[in-house]
Amino acid sequence: EAVSGAQLIAQALRAQNIEYMFGIVGIPVTEIAIAAQAVGIKYVGMRNEQAACYAASAVGYLTGRPGVCLVVSGPGFLHALGGMANATINCWPLIVIGGSSDRNQETMGAFQEFPQVEAGGLYNKLSVRPSSLEVIPAVIEKAVRTSMYGRPGSCYIDIPGDFVNLQVNKSSVKYVECCLPPPISMAEHSAVSKAASVIALSKQPLLIIGKGAAYSHAENIIRKLVDLCGLPFLPTPMAKGVVPDNHPNCVAAARSTALQHADVIILLGARLNWILHFGLPPRYRQDVKVIQIDICAEELGNNVRPAATLLGDIKTVTEQLLEEFNKRSWKYPSNSEWWQKLREKIKNNEERSKGLALQKSLPMNYYTVFHHIRELIPKDCILVSEGANTMDIGRTMLPNFYPRQRLDAGTFGTMGVGLGFAIAAAMVARDHTPGRRVVCIEGDSAFGFSGMEVETICRYNLPILIIVVNNNGIYTGLDTNSWEEILKFGDPATCVPPVSLLPNAHYEKIMSVFGGKGYFVKTPEELQNALKASVTDKQTPSLINVMIDPQSERKKQEFPWLTRSNL
């Protein structure tokens, strides 16, 4: 019995428990998508390979099993590089399958010919081309396994165009079973007891929870550790919700103070990169003791010499620490000076945000908008957020109560991820947690990167709520009067500020044009009504375009590292 390359690829993906494929079909990969649907894999056709690849990578983070991105040769492959890099830098499993030129035309200047396997090496843990049809299942198993084992990341499989419809006898194919779940490693016992001793001697401890902890499903055990030891904790942006943001020990509202004065810091699946200011003074104490818990040995010791290193799976290592503290019965006192200092700072910062949120002036500012969003969106919704101010202020204003329910620009700071992430989250939610809503909060500039994916959302009838926080630009914008004044000076290309976008752009019409519901909003009342209507309608995609003050910015110096000179 004969089987085609396309069928072999689809069957092999199915055998590895792959559920979702995102992509844009064309020569030579169309048959692969058709074959994937025939074996029960869900195929979502996107409008840009970049968004398709972002979507597939988000599936990997949300489910622990890679999504697949399917692209054509040359430009199609190149457009997916952004998603590969983003997945690898975020440590998310992803499989990208790219068509390439027919083998007998290599070096001849074939249609869309490009050295894809070599190019893929920079962005992927594995970049391979099967040497024959017979080995396709084995190569796919290796790619899926490699994407998930150790520190997760992206893997690329190159499929020559002539492989797709080529047929081979089933009996000669090297079929393989589904790869085993990733092996789980524990930290060495001496490192665990050393870490516990350092923590027990701390005067100003701080637990930092990273998205590695969210990925390893360590939420229950980390919460037990926080409660047992009474430790203050700070989540990195995508780790919000591993322990709920409203937990009394959450010190996110005193972030700078907590980092600057902690004498012992426990890193749970978080890296000392730009997001955490590298662990270095003046943002940290010169003598801070760092305890690093990470799945990747090469990460240990980056930027700061650690007081203890615990190499292993976050969930398992946290269990080891918990066991150690159960024996010691140590608890950090809740009436310490450190707690008093942190609580005072939290109170001041929260009052400041509240003051800004309750301002009655129009147009609205970011804080007012997020205040109303927070009041009206479901507590268990998946939040996707991207933008500059929109993402940063949203992080402080919008709480997460459950793990893996915040997706944002991530470690790579990627703009354009929002709609792809939202589509992936909505597909996964529909199958695994029916009824859970996806709320995608975009800056107007961020929305522009993949705005046409609104058509994809409507085509697959995904009841996503998109909120565009529109300040007519990147960081800041101009109001209509200033815009018209500037245009009097001549050609917009010479006189319009580079950060400006068209004032009062009606992004909501992009949604209504495809059959969803669009709302144009200028006041708190209009915003509340639009939010209520969108949340109540559980069937229809909607977009709320919220006009805010073009000059509204975050509280001064909240994130001074976002000024370019400090990056």
Phi-psi region of 81 (alpha: psi -120 to 50; beta: other; left: phi over 0): alpha
Q: Is residue 553 part of a domain?
A: no
Domain assignment present for 565: no
DSSP 34-101: HHHHHTT-EEEE-SSHHHHHHHHHHHHHHHSS-EEEEE-TTHHHHHTHHHHHHHHHHT--EEEEEEE-
- Within-domain flag for 427: yes
CB of 271 closer than 8 Å to CB of 302: yes
Average pLDDT of adjacent 10-residue blocks, the chain of 567 residues: 98 98 98 98 98 98 98 98 98 98 97 98 98 98 98 98 98 97 98 98 98 98 98 98 98 98 98 98 98 98 98 98 96 98 97 93 96 97 96 95 98 97 98 97 97 98 98 95 95 95 98 98 98 98 97 55 37
User: Domain end: 289, 315, 344, which one?
Assistant: 344
Same-domain check for residues 420 and 321? no
Look at residue 351 and tell me if it is in a domain. Answer: no
- Let me know whether 129 and 217 are in one domain: no
Neighbour tally for 40: CB within 10 Å: 9
Asked if residue 484 belongs to a domain, the reply is: yes
CA distance 556 to 118: 45
Spatial CA neighbour of 334 closest among 231, 258, 245:
231
Which 8-state DSSP code applies to residue 561?
G
Q: Are residues 328 and 420 in the same domain?
A: no
Residues 427 and 278 in one domain: no
Show the beta-strand stretches assigned E in 308-446: 308-311, 382-386, 406-407, 438-443
pLDDT value at residue 561: 36
Burial 485-516 (b: 16+ CB within 10 A, else e): eeeeeeeeeeebeeebbebebebbebbbebeb
Same domain? For 417 and 507 the reply is yes
Q: Count CB-CB contacts under 10 A for residue 480.
A: 12
Domain that holds residue 245: 189-344
Do 222 and 112 have their domain in common? no
Q: CA 158 to CA 76: how far, in whole Å?
A: 12
Q: Report the 3 state secondary structure along 106-159.
A: CCCCCCCCCCHHHHHCCCCCEEECCCCHHHHHHHHHHHHHHHHCCCCCEEEEEE
Residues 508, 451, single domain; the answer is: yes
Q: Closest Cα partner for 82 from 129, 116, 50, 118?
A: 50
What are the residues whose beta carbons fall under 8 Å from the beta carbon of 323, sequence distance 6 or more?
none
* Residues in a beta bridge with 131: none
Question: Same domain, yes or no, for 247 and 377?
Answer: no
User: Which domain CATH number covers 523?
Assistant: 3.40.50.970
Residue with tokens 């805010």, as numbered in its chain? 548
Report the C-alpha gap between 520 and 534 in whole angstroms.
13
Tokens of 355: 């003051």
Pair (377, 493) in one structural domain: yes
261, 370: one domain: no
| Size (the chain), residues | 567
User: What CATH number does residue 264 fall under?
Assistant: 3.40.50.1220
The answer to whether residues 324 and 419 belong to one domain is: no
Identify whether residues 310 and 371 lie together within a single domain.
no
Instruction: Catalogue the E-assigned strands of 286-400.
Output: 289-294, 308-311, 382-386
Residue that terminates a domain, selected from 310, 344, 378: 344
Q: Where is the domain boundary, 315, 344, 373?
A: 344
Residue 178 lies in a domain: no
Rounded CA-CA distance 325/315 in Å is: 15
Q: Is residue 98 a part of any domain in this protein? A: yes
Number of independent structural domains in the chain: 3
Residue 229 carries which side chain, given as an amino acid letter? C
